[in-house]
């Protein structure tokens, strides 16, 4: 064409007729590249946003911790946790270096940790590694000394401030850090990641209630959970909750419940005869374990109702926190026909005993005719239903067992019984006294536990693979 020739401009949009045929140009590879590019940009932006949110969250967390400690919080903590104060402030002396640090906050987590440490010490490679076990509560420390003994060096966990955490890690220099169940301390995990020390969540659990709280701050908690190399969780329900928070599926492993392995080991040591003297002849003995405030009155009222049919029956209440023992004794005062006192100072004639120290619950369950598992008639998520079930003891529990989701399967199999009030608890205990019911419950408990076990071994296998 000559200069100034007219070249038609064709507008190509959906529905427009093409006035003249044009060669088809395959631009699929170019479109694909554009899509990929856009996806990479979006992913980068999301990553930057997540990183910024995580850093901002950590900055706010550290600021809040500093404000708490600087505003009188340290004085309050010193009064509340006078025992082990130096260790809580990160001043660890004489601790073994280069081992595995296991952190368990209190009694329940210590039980899970005992199975893992037993597995570790029974393994050729793990037996030579030092083990450091930290707890928060004094009752947890006492339980650890009973269950674990010299297999681990016991300390109190440092408070989660940069100064205390760094001081503790400088002293221990662990090769790996294992947090049990629900322990997710941001500063500790952040410092471990910065130092390249692998951290693991073992026997991890996340109830519906806790999941709802964490989901409100999901970007921050995603950053905290990203500090774990692996999240080794109990059940599929726990896995689904962590997935919903944004944890990649390949970093979550369902191992089962380590508490089962711990309880199986303790079953061999259980001694029902130790508490045989608590019985009054052939009359039944009931045990209410790990009760919380608001449940003791319900349990005592249910027991009183049974006494009309079983005059010689006795009740032992083991509060979740032993320091509440005298308050639990006082809960029986409205019933003058019931003589209540502390288990440590029982008179010759009594009806209700209240345990005032940590430790005897498992043996007490083994001596019982029927039991109740506390923390479940009030909004506490329930306590461990596996203890009486492993011993084949008929056990009732309330409706709130959110921390133990597999309880629903135990109920369906007949290994546990859900109740909602005083009358239902009394009825459940009454039925449990029938020989045929006791035999049925024993069979259901055996069937249930046949499907479980080996969680501690599977957990240790994953951790050990990072210790080369």
Pairing between β-strand 352-354 and β-strand 370-373 as defined by DSSP bridges: unpaired
In which band, very low, low, confident or very high, does the pLDDT at 1 lie, cut at 50, 70 and 90?
A: very low
The three-point CA angle 278-371-389 to 5° equals 115
- pTM: predicted TM-score of the whole model, two decimal places: 0.79
Q: What is the pLDDT of residue 182?
A: 93
Asked whether 319 and 291 are in contact (CB, 8 A), the reply is: yes
What is the model's pLDDT at position 51? 63
Q: Alpha-carbon distance 286 to 307, whole Å?
A: 11
Ordered domains of the chain (ranges, CATH): 80-257+454-464 (3.40.50.11720), 271-450 (3.40.50.2000)
Q: Is 373 helix (H, G, I), strand (E, B) or coil?
A: strand
**Pairwise pLDDT comparison (29 vs 372), residue with the higher score:** 372
CA distances from 370 to 285, 348, 349, 388, 425 (A): 7, 23, 21, 9, 11
Asked whether the beta carbons of 406 and 235 are under 8 A apart, the reply is: yes
The string of pLDDT tens digits covering residues 196-243 is 999 999 999 998 889 999 999 888 999 999 999 999 999 999 999 999
pLDDT over 70 (residue 21): no
Confidence at residue 244, expressed as pLDDT on a 0 to 100 scale: 95
Region 62-75 average pLDDT: 85
Residue 142, pLDDT > 80, answer: yes
Q: Are 91 and 167 in contact (CB under 8 A)?
A: yes
- Of the two residues 226 and 19, the one the predictor is more confident about is 226
């Amino acid at each position: 064409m000559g200069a100034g020739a007219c070249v038609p401009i064709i507008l190509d949009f959906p529905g427009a007729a093409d006035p003249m045929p044009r060669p088809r140009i395959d631009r699929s590879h170019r479109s694909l590249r554009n899509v990929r590019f856009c996806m990479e940009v979006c992913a980068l932006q999301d990553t930057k946003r997540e990183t910024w949110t995580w850093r901002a969250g950590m900055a706010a967390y550290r600021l809040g911790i500093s404000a708490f400690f600087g505003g009188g919080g340290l004085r309050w903590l010193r009064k509340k946790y006078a025992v082990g104060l130096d260790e809580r402030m990160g001043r660890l002396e004489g601790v073994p270096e280069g081992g595995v640090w296991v952190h368990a906050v209190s009694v329940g987590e210590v039980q899970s940790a005992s199975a893992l440490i037993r597995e570790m010490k029974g393994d050729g490679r793990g037996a030579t590694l030092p083990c450091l076990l930290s707890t928060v509560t004094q009752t947890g420390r006492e339980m650890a000394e009973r269950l674990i003994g010299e297999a681990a060096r016991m300390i109190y966990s440092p408070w989660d401030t940069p100064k205390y955490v760094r001081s503790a890690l400088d002293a221990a220099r662990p090769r790996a850090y294992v947090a049990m169940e629900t322990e997710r301390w941001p500063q500790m995990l952040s410092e471990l990641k910065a130092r390249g020390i692998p951290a693991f969540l073992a026997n991890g659990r996340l109830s519906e209630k806790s999941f709802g709280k964490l989901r409100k701050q999901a970007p921050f908690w995603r950053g905290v959970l990203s500090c774990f190399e692996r999240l080794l969780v109990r059940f599929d329900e726990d896995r689904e909750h962590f997935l919903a928070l944004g944890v990649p599926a390949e970093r979550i492993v369902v191992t089962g419940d380590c508490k089962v392995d711990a309880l199986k080991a303790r079953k061999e040591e259980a001694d029902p005869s130790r508490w045989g003297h608590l019985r009054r002849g052939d009359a039944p003995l009931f045990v209410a374990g790990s009760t919380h405030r608001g449940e003791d009155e319900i349990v005592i009222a249910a027991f009183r109702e049974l006494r009309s049919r079983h005059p010689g029956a006795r009740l032992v209440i083991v509060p979740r926190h032993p320091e509440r023992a005298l308050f639990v004794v006082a809960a029986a005062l409205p019933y003058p026909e019931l003589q209540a006192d502390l288990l440590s100072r029982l008179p010759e004639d009594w009806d209700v005993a209240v345990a005032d120290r940590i430790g005897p619950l498992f043996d007490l369950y083994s001596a019982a005719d029927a039991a109740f598992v506390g923390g479940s008639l009030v909004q506490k998520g329930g306590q461990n239903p596996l203890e009486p079930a492993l011993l084949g003891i008929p056990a009732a529990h309330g409706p709130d067992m959110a921390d133990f989701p597999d309880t629903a399967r135990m109920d369906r199999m007949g290994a546990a019984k859900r109740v909602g009030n005083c009358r239902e608890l009394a009825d459940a205990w009454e039925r449990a006294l029938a020989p045929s019911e006791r035999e049925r419950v024993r069979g259901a408990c055996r069937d249930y536990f046949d499907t479980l076990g080996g969680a501690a071994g599977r957990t240790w296998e994953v951790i050990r693979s990072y210790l080369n």
